[in-house]
Structure 1
Amino acid sequence: MSLDVDTPEPPTLEAVDPNEYDDAEVVGDTDYKRAEIEDFLQEGAWDEAFTAWAADTNLDEDAYRIVLDLDLLSRFDFFWDSFAERVGYHAPGLPEDWKERDLHPELDSWSTVSSINASLTELGQEVCDVLLDSYIDWETEYEAPDDLPDFGE
């Protein structure tokens, strides 16, 4: 299945500590490089990833309209995790209490909620893959501590 829609604008990345998300954990101090990642998204990474995702997604156009109506795509966050040397991400999603909140008039089943959440997670991973494969070539500079034992020759 594929989704035949125009690529939306890439998200604007906010200065959020990724450890505040339930689905992300970053160890140690790090420069999240959001400005650089946001530039890469603007330069084509978002378009490339979105196009690849849309070609394979199981999300239908009705569910995608809900995503647009709720402005979920703008809530993505991408950041550099230097410890793991990876692009981390937080995908937006619909909460478990979506029904009680009456989030959208066309949102009427767990199946749709699940499909939206899973599809947004897949999009986030696709963006990370494109960034790492085609845009990011950062190397983390690791300095060994001075007190390591010297086993000599």
Structure 2
Amino acid sequence: MTLSVETPAVPELEDAVDPNEYEDAEIVGDTDYRRDDLEALLRDGAWEDAFVEWRESTDVTEAEWEVVLDLDLLSHFDFFWDDFADRVGYHAPGIPEDWKEREIHPDVDSWKTVSSINAGLTELGQTVCDVLKDEYITWESEYEAPEDLPDF
């Protein structure tokens, strides 16, 4: 399935949140999250490349995409460098579990819609990370493993 929509603006990455505060991320050790570098790479084409790749295979419908835009969910994406794991980490925004009580959008009326949007945004986040790491990042991890690790 192909989603026929324009590529949205690159999300602005801010240092306001420590990635360890996210339920779905754990960063070991002190690290420079390199958000400025990642945002520059996103602006240099990584966001466009990843979005084009993602929209070619996503199951998100155009109606669901409109909900994403209406709720400005993309502005809540976060991408950060995890030096220990030598990877780009991310936090994907989503529709909260209490969506029924909060009546957050008139077109959010089923768990199917919520699930589709949340899964789609997670897949977009992972695609962005993969494109950044595979095609844009040229730096090496600065983490050095201790020399006293056992041989297996």
The TM-score normalised by the length of structure 1 is 0.93
Counterparts of 2:45 and 2:85, CA distance in 1: 24
Counterparts of 2:58 and 2:143, CA distance in 1: 38
Contact 2:84/2:143 (8 A) holds in 1? no
Match of 1:48 in 2: 49
Instruction: Using the aligned pairs only, state the percent identity.
Output: 66
- Which amino acid in 1 is paired with 2:58? T
1:118 deviation in Å? 0.2
Counterparts of 1:89 and 1:33, CA distance in 2: 12
- Over the aligned positions, Cα root-mean-square deviation in angstroms equals 1.5
Query: What is the DSSP-based 3-state SS (H/G/I as helix, E as strand, rest coil) of the residue aligned with 1:63?
Result: helix
Where in structure 2 are the equivalents of 1:66-105 lying within 5 Å?
A: 66-105=67-106
Counterparts of 2:5 and 2:67, CA distance in 1: 13
Counterparts of 1:145 and 1:49, CA distance in 2: 35
Structure whose CA Rg is larger: 1
Counterparts of 1:41 and 1:144, CA distance in 2: 29
Match of 1:117 in 2: 118
Contact 2:77/2:90 (8 A) holds in 1? yes
Counterparts of 2:85 and 2:142, CA distance in 1: 12
Aligned residues: 148
1:139 deviation in Å? 1.1
| Residues 10-65 of structure 1, C-alpha deviations (whole Å, 9 max, x = no match) | 10001120011111111110000000000000010000000110111000000000
Counterparts of 2:80 and 2:30, CA distance in 1: 13
Tell me: CA distance 1:30–1:99, structure 2 relative to 1, closer, same or farther (3 Å): same
Match of 1:135 in 2: 136
- Which amino acid in 2 is paired with 1:51? V
**Are 1:37 and 2:38 counterparts?**
yes
- Which amino acid in 1 is paired with 2:6? D
**What runs of 5+ residues in structure 1 fail to find an aligned partner?**
none
Counterparts of 2:144 and 2:54, CA distance in 1: 38
Tell me: CA distance 1:83–1:69, structure 2 relative to 1, closer, same or farther (3 Å): same
1:143 deviation in Å? 4.4
- Which amino acid in 1 is paired with 2:96? P
Query: What is the DSSP-based 3-state SS (H/G/I as helix, E as strand, rest coil) of the residue aligned with 1:104?
Result: coil
The TM-score normalised by the length of structure 2 is 0.93
Query: What is the DSSP-based 3-state SS (H/G/I as helix, E as strand, rest coil) of the residue aligned with 2:90?
Result: strand
